[in-house]
C-alpha cells in the first residue's frame, strides 16, 4: 500500500491511469452510499448464482455417476456450455429472459457450476471399493449407499469444488453486469471509467476482490466448522 | 452351516487376462464350527470369504448358508475386512453401530452392546474419536466390533489380527474364543499365522495357489477351552508341522 502511494507520488503517475490509494480512499468515503448499494446488488447476483450452482450441480453429478449411459450425453453438453463465451451469451440471454436479474444469475451460474459438477462427480466416483463393499454387507440400497457412503466421502471434493465455484461466481456476476445491468460493481466500473472517474472504478475493483476473499473464507470456515474430519483426511 | 459345492471364481483383469482365483472348492462347515483358512498370499482366501459373504457370486458351483443359496449379503453374516475399512467421517461408536443403523435395528440396547464390545477389545473411552485418531491396530479392533454388533450367526474374518502386535494378538485370540463360546457362531477365519490357525480352529483348511484349491483339511484335536499353554502340546506341534509341510513342502523340515 505504502509503496503504491509513494510510487504514485514520486513518479507522478496521472490519476486517470492509476490513482493513489489516498485518492481511492477519498473517493470511497465520498461515495460511500453509492458503492454500498452497488455492492449489495453484486452480492445478490453472486449468491443467487452460487446457490443455483449448488442446487443444480449436486443432482447433476449424482445422475452422471449413477447412470454412465446418460453421463455420455450430459458431458458433451456441459462442455458445450463452457466453451461458449459468456460475454457473447449475455445479450442473447437478456433477449430470452428479459432485462431483469435473471440473465445475470444465469450467467453467474454458467460460469461457476462446471468445476463444481466435476468435483462432486469425482468425489462420488472415488469411493474406495472396500467402503462400497461395506455398504453392501450392511444391505444398503442405492439410495442409502449414496446418502450414507458416497456423499459423505465426497465432502472434501465438494468443498474444493465450492471454493472454485464461489470465486468464479464473483467473476461471472461482474461479466454479467458489464453486459447488462443498471446496478452492481461491474456496472459501476463500466460507467465510472466511461466518465473518467478512475478512482471510483478502482474502489469498485478493490471491493470486488474483498468480496471474493471474504466469500472464499466463508466456505473455508464452513468446512472447518461442520466437517473437521474432511480437512485432515484429505491432507 | 456354510457349504461350498464345487465353487469356482474367475476374475478378468482389465487387460482381459483371466485369473482363476479359486477352483473347485468343496467345503462343509458345521454350525458353530470354528474353521481357519491358511495358504500362501494370493491363493484365494479373501475370494472364498467374499463368496461366503455374498459379495461375489461363484462362476460355477454354489455357496449356501443354512441350506439357502447365497445370492447377496445376508443380515445374519458379519464380516471383518482385511483392512479396517472404517468410515472416516464417523466416530468409532458410529462406525461400530453402522450395520445396525443400516439394517434398521439400532436401539439403546445396541448402543450398550457397542460400548461393551469396544470395552472388550480395549477401546473403552475412545468411542467419540475419529478413525484417523486411532492406530491401525485400534482401527482393526473397531472393525471387529462392527462385525459383531448385530450378533451374526456367521462371522467371516479376513486376517483380523494382521495389523496387531503379538501381545494384543494373543489377548484378542483369547477374547474371540470367549465370545465364540458365550455367543456361539460359525466362524471362517483367514490368517497368515499357522500357530494362530491351530490355536483357534476346530479344523484348519490349507489352500494351495494357482489356482486356489483346498490342499487338505486338518482336524485339530486340542481340548477346549484353549489357552496358550497348549502351544507345547504334541497335538499342537503335529498340526503346525503338517500345515507347514503342506504350504512349504519338505523344505522347512530339512532346515529344522
Ligand atoms: N477384483 C479382482 N479382480 C481381478 N483379480 C482379482 C480380484 N480379486 C482377487 N483377484 C485375484 O485372485 C487371486 C486371489 O486373490 P485373493 O485376494 O483371494 O487372495 P488372498 O489369498 O486373500 O491373498 P492375501 O493373503 O495376499 O490376502 C489373486 O491372484 C488376485 O490377483
Ligand atoms: Mg486376502
The per-residue pLDDT for range A18-38, each reduced to its tens digit, is 888 888 888 888 888 888 999
The three state secondary structure string of A10-27 is: HCCCCCCCCCCHHHHHHH
Residue whose grid cell is 472447518: A224
What confidence tier does B34 reach under pLDDT thresholds 50, 70, 90? very high
> Rounded distance, CA A54 to CA A219, Å?
13
For residue A213, pLDDT over 80 is answered with yes
- Tell me, in angstroms, the distance from the centre of ligand 2 to residue B99's CA: 22
Per-residue pLDDT of B79-104, as tens digits, reads 999 999 999 999 999 999 999 999 88
Residue A29 lies in a domain: no
Residue A47 lies in a domain: yes
A232 → closest Cβ in B85, B102, B132: B132
Kindly report the backbone phi and psi dihedral angles of residue B87, in degrees, each rounded to the nearest multiple of 5, phi listed first: -80, 120
> Rounded distance, CA A28 to CA A221, Å?
29
CB-CB contact of B181 with B227 (8 Å): no
Per-residue pLDDT of A104-114, as tens digits, reads 999 999 999 99
**Which of the residues B102, B130, B139 would you substitute to probe the A interface, choosing the one with the greatest number of A C-beta atoms within 10 Å?**
B102
* B88 with A155: Cβ contact below 8 A: no
What confidence tier does A234 reach under pLDDT thresholds 50, 70, 90? very low
| B84-98 b/e (C-beta count within 10 Å ≥ 16 → b) | bbbbbbbbbbbbbbb
Residue A137 near chain B (CB below 8 Å): yes
- What is the fold, at CATH topology level, of the domain defined by B2-76+154-248? Rossmann fold (3.40.50)
Residue B110 near chain A (CB below 8 Å): no
> Rounded distance, CA B254 to CA A166, Å?
70
CB-CB contact of B172 with B118 (8 Å): no
Enclosing H/E stretch for B94: helix B92-102
Query: Count of CB contacts below 8 A, A vs B?
Result: 51
Question: Which residues constitute the domain of residue A126?
Answer: 42-234
CATH 3.40.50.300 in chain B, residue ranges: 2-76+154-248
Residue whose grid cell is 459373504: B53
Task: Evaluate whether ipTM surpasses 0.85.
Answer: yes
Mutate to test the pocket of ligand 1, among B22, B41, B45 (most ligand atoms within 8 A of CB): B45
Report chain B residues whose CB lies below 8 A from the CB of A147: none
Residue A153 lies in a domain: yes
> Rounded distance, CA B95 to CA B115, Å?
12
What confidence tier does B250 reach under pLDDT thresholds 50, 70, 90? low
pLDDT at A180: 78
pLDDT at B253: 53
User: Average pLDDT over chain A, rounded to whole?
Assistant: 90
User: Which of A61-65, A79-83, B57-61, B186-190 is predicted with the least confidence, judged by mean pLDDT?
Assistant: A79-83
- Whichever domain contains A163, its CATH number is 1.10.3720.10
Kindly report the backbone phi and psi dihedral angles of residue B3, in degrees, each rounded to the nearest multiple of 5, phi listed first: -130, 120
Per-residue pLDDT of A76-97, as tens digits, reads 899 988 888 888 888 888 888 8
Closest CA to A184 of A44, A10, A6: A44
> Rounded distance, CA A46 to CA A119, Å?
20
Residue A224 lies in a domain: yes
Residue A175 lies in a domain: yes
Total domain count, chain A: 1
Residue B53 near chain A (CB below 8 Å): yes
Residue A57 lies in a domain: yes
Residue whose grid cell is 465438494: A158
Residue A30 lies in a domain: no
| CA distance readout (Å), A69 to A63, A126, A151, A167, B123 | 10, 18, 21, 32, 46
Per-residue pLDDT of A154-198, as tens digits, reads 999 999 999 999 999 999 999 999 887 788 999 999 988 888 888
CB-CB contact of B8 with B56 (8 Å): no
Residue A21 lies in a domain: no
pLDDT at A235: 40
What does pTM read for this prediction? 0.86
- Tell me, in angstroms, the distance from the centre of ligand 1 to residue B47's CA: 6
For residue B49, pLDDT over 70 is answered with yes
User: Average pLDDT over chain B, rounded to whole?
Assistant: 92
Which parts of chain A fold into alpha helices (H)? Answer: 2-10, 21-30, 32-66, 68-83, 86-97, 102-125, 129-137, 142-144, 151-179, 185-194, 198-226, 228-234
> Rounded distance, CA B39 to CA B202, Å?
17
> Rounded distance, CA A184 to CA A188, Å?
6
Enclosing H/E stretch for B23: strand B18-29
For residue B256, pLDDT over 50 is answered with no
What confidence tier does B251 reach under pLDDT thresholds 50, 70, 90? low
For residue A143, pLDDT over 50 is answered with yes
User: Which of A4-18, B17-31, B164-178 is predicted with the least confidence, judged by mean pLDDT?
Assistant: A4-18
Read off the pLDDT of each residue in A213-226 and give the average, rounded to a whole number. Answer: 95
State chain A's maximal CA–CA distance in angstroms. Answer: 74
> Rounded distance, CA A114 to CA B14, Å?
30
Residue B11 near chain A (CB below 8 Å): no
As a whole number of Å, the end-to-end CA separation of chain B is 39
pLDDT at A197: 85
- Tell me, in angstroms, the distance from the centre of ligand 1 to residue B14's CA: 14
* B75 with A139: Cβ contact below 8 A: yes
Q: Which residue has the higher pLDDT, A129 or A100?
A: A129
pLDDT at A60: 94
| B207-216 b/e (C-beta count within 10 Å ≥ 16 → b) | bbbebbbbbe
pLDDT at B79: 95
pLDDT at A84: 87
Read off the pLDDT of each residue in A5-15 and give the average, rounded to a whole number. Answer: 82
Amino acid at each position: 500500500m505504502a509503496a503504491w502511494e509513494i510510487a504514485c507520488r514520486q513518479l507522478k503517475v496521472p490519476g486517470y491511469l492509476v490513482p493513489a490509494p489516498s485518492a481511492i480512499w477519498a473517493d470511497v468515503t465520498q461515495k460511500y452510499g453509492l458503492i454500498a448499494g452497488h455492492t449489495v446488488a453484486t452480492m445478490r447476483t453472486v449468491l443467487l448464482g452460487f446457490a443455483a450452482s449448488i442446487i443444480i450441480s449436486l443432482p447433476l453429478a449424482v445422475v452422471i455417476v449413477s447412470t454412465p449411459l446418460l453421463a455420455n450425453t450430459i458431458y458433451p453438453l456441459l462442455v458445450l456450455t463452457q466453451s461458449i463465451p459468456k460475454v457473447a451469451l449475455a445479450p442473447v440471454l437478456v433477449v430470452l429472459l428479459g432485462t431483469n436479474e435473471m440473465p445475470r444469475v444465469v450467467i453467474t451460474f454458467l460460469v461457476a457450476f462446471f468445476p463444481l459438477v466435476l468435483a462432486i462427480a469425482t468425489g462420488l466416483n472415488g469411493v474406495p471399493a472396500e467402503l462400497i463393499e461395506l455398504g453392501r454387507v450392511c444391505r444398503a440400497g442405492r439410495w442409502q449407499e449414496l446418502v450414507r457412503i458416497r456423499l459423505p466421502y465426497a465432502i472434501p471434493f465438494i468443498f474444493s469444488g465450492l471454493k472454485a465455484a464461489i470465486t468464479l461466481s464473483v467473476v461471472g456476476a461482474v461479466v454479467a453486469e458489464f453486459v447488462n445491468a443498471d446496478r452492481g460493481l461491474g456496472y459501476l466500473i463500466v460507467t465510472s471509467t466511461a466518465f473518467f472517474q478512475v478512482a471510483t472504478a478502482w474502489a469498485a475493483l478493490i471491493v470486488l476482490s474483498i468480496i471474493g476473499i471474504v466469500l472464499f473464507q466463508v466456505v473455508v470456515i464452513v468446512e472447518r466448522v461442520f466437517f473437521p474430519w474432511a480437512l485432515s483426511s484429505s491432507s | 452351516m456354510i457349504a461350498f459345492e464345487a465353487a469356482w471364481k474367475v476374475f478378468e483383469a482389465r487387460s482381459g487376462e483371466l485369473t482363476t482365483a479359486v477352483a473347485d472348492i468343496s467345503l462343509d462347515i458345521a454350525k458353530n464350527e470354528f474353521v481357519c483358512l491358511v495358504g500362501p498370499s494370493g491363493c484365494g482366501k479373501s475370494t472364498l470369504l467374499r463368496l461366503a459373504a455374498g459379495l461375489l457370486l461363484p462362476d460355477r458351483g454354489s455357496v449356501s448358508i443354512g441350506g439357502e443359496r447365497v445370492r447377496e449379503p445376508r443380515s445374519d453374516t458379519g464380516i471383518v475386512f482385511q483392512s479396517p475399512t472404517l468410515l472416516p467421517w464417523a466416530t468409532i461408536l458410529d462406525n461400530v453401530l453402522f450395520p445396525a443403523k443400516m439394517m434398521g435395528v439400532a436401539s439403546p440396547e445396541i448402543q450398550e452392546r457397542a460400548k461393551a464390545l469396544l470395552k472388550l477389545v480395549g477401546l473403552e473411552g475412545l468411542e467419540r474419536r475419529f478413525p484417523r485418531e486411532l492406530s491401525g491396530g485400534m482401527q482393526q479392533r473397531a472393525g471387529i466390533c462392527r462385525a459383531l454388533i448385530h450378533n451374526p450367526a456367521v462371522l467371516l474374518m479376513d486376517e483380523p489380527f494382521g495389523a496387531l502386535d503379538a501381545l494384543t494378538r494373543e489377548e484378542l485370540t483369547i477374547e474371540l474364543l470367549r465370545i465364540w463360546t458365550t455367543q456361539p457362531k460359525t466362524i471362517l477365519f483367514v490368517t497368515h499365522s499357522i500357530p494362530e490357525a491351530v490355536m483357534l480352529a476346530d479344523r484348519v483348511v490349507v489352500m494351495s495357489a494357482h489356482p486356489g484349491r483346498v490342499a487338505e483339511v486338518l482336524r485339530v484335536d486340542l481340548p477346549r477351552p484353549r489357552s496358550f499353554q497348549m502351544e507345547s502340546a504334541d497335538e499342537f506341534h503335529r498340526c503346525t508341522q503338517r500345515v507347514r509341510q503342506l504350504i512349504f513342502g519338505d523344505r522347512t523340515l530339512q532346515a529344522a
